[in-house]
Structure 1
Amino acid sequence: MGISAVDIEQRTIRRAPRFHPAWTMVAVAALALVAAGSFATIAGLITEPLVETKGWSRTGIGAAVAVNMVLYGVVGPFAAAMMDRYGIRRVTSSALLALIASSVLTAIWTPSVFWFVLWFGFAVGVGTGSITTVFAATVANRWFYRKIGLATGLLTAAGVFGQFAMLPLLSVLLERADWRAPVLACGALASAALFGVALFLRESPAAIGAVRYGADAETESDSTDRQVNPFARTITALLRALRDSRFWVLASMFALCGATTNGLMWSHFTPAAHDHGMAATAASGLLAIIGVANILGTVSAGWLTDRIDPRLLLAVFFLGRGVSLALLPVLFTSGWSPDLVAFAVVFGILDVATVPPTLTLCRHYFGADSALTFGWISVFHQLGAGAMALTGGLIRDVNGSYTPLWITAALACLIAAALGTTGSRLR
Structure 2
Amino acid sequence: MNWVARRFQGRLHYGWIVVGVVFFVLLAAAGTRATPSVMMLPLEKQFGWSRGTISLAISVNLALYGLAGPFAAAAMQRFGVRPTLLTALATLAAGVGVSSMMTAPWQMVLVWGVLVGGATGVAALTLSATIVNRWFTTHRGLAMGILTASSATGQLVFLPILAAISERVGWQPVVLIVACAAALVIPLVAWLLPERPANLALRPIGETAEQPPASTLPQQNPIKVAFSTLSMASKTRDFWLLFFSFFICGASTNGYVGTHLIAMCADYGMTQVQGASLLAAMGIFDLFGTTLSGWLSDRFNARYLLFWYYGLRGLSLIYLPYAFGIDFFGLPLFAVFYGLDWIATVPPTVRLATDVYGKDSAPIVFGWVVAGHQLGAAFAALGGGMLRSSLGTYTVATMISGGLCLVASILVLRINRPAQRVGVATT
Q: TM-score, normalised by structure 2?
A: 0.89
- Separation (CA, whole Å) in 2 of partners of 1:398 and 1:116: 22
1:12 aligned partner: none
Instruction: Trace 1:57-96 onto structure 2 (pairs within 5 A).
Output: 61-96=54-89
Residues 294 and 89 of structure 1: CA distance in aligned 2, closer, same or farther (over 3 Å): same
Aligned length: 411
Partner of 2:19: 26
Q: Which moved more, 1:35-44 or 1:55-64?
A: 55-64
Alignment partner for residue 249 of structure 1, among 215, 233, 241?
A: 241
In the other structure, the counterpart of 1:98 is 91
CA 1:330 to 1:114, structure 2 compared with 1: closer, same or farther past 3 Å? closer
* Deviation sequence 1:170-193 (CA, Å, 0-9, x none): 123334433222212112211221
Contact 2:155 2:279 in 1 (8 A): no
Matches for 1:266-305 after TM superposition, within 5 Å: 266-305=258-297
Q: 1:420 & 1:344 partners in 2: Cα distance?
A: 24
When normalised by structure 1's length, the TM-score is 0.89
Amino acid at match of 1:137: A
- 8 Å Cα contact 2:56-2:382 kept in structure 1: no
Indicate the RMSD between aligned Cα atoms, in angstroms: 2.4
- 1:144–1:214 Cα contact (<8 Å) kept: yes
Match of 2:413 among 387, 396, 421: 421
Indicate the larger mover: 65-74 or 19-28: 65-74
Alpha-carbon distance in structure 2 between the residues aligned to 1:111 and 1:252: 37
Counterpart amino acid of 1:231? I
Out of 40, 46, 52, the position equivalent to 2:39 is 46
Paired with 1:172 and 1:278, the residues of 2 have a C-alpha distance of 13
Cα distance in structure 1, aligned partners of 2:393 and 2:111: 35
SS in 2 for 1:313: helix
For structure 1, list consecutive stretches of 5 or more residues without a partner in the other structure.
1-15
Matched-pair contact (CA < 8 Å) for 2:148–2:290: yes
How big is each residue's C-alpha offset from its partner over 1:22-41, in whole Å with a ceiling of 9 and x where there is no partner? 00000000010011111102
**Equivalent position of 2:170 in the other structure:** 178
Partners of 2:341 and 2:20 in 1: how far apart? 23
Aligned to 2:302: 310
Moved over 6 A (4+): none
Asked if the contact 2:74–2:222 (Cα under 8 Å) also holds between the matched residues in 1, the reply is yes
Q: Which secondary structure does the structure 1 equivalent of 2:356 belong to?
A: helix
Mean CA deviation greater in 143-152 or 265-274: 265-274
Contact 1:132-1:159 within 8 A present in 2 as well: no
* Residue 30 (structure 2) aligns with: 37
Structure 1 letter corresponding to 2:244: S
Who is 2:6 aligned against?
Answer: none
Distance 2:110 2:381 in 1: 22
1:6-405 to structure 2, matched below 5 A, reads 17-53=10-46, 61-107=54-100, 109-110=101-102, 112-163=104-155, 165-333=157-325, 337-367=328-358, 368-393=360-385, 395-396=387-388, 401-405=393-397
Structure 2 vs 1, CA of residues 176 and 272 (structure 1 numbering), >3 Å: closer, same or farther? Answer: closer
Amino acid of the structure 2 residue aligned with 1:247: F
Q: Is the 8 A contact 2:61 2:117 kept in 1?
A: yes
Counterpart in the other structure of 2:425:
none
Name the structure, 1 or 2, with higher relative contact order (CA <8 Å, separation 6+): 2
Cα distance, 1:160 vs structure 2: 3.0
Superposed CA deviations along residues 185-207 of structure 1, whole A, max 9, x for unmatched, are 11221122111111100111011
Q: Deviations over 1:101-154 (max 9, x none)?
A: 1122223x4465444433332221121011111111111111000000000000
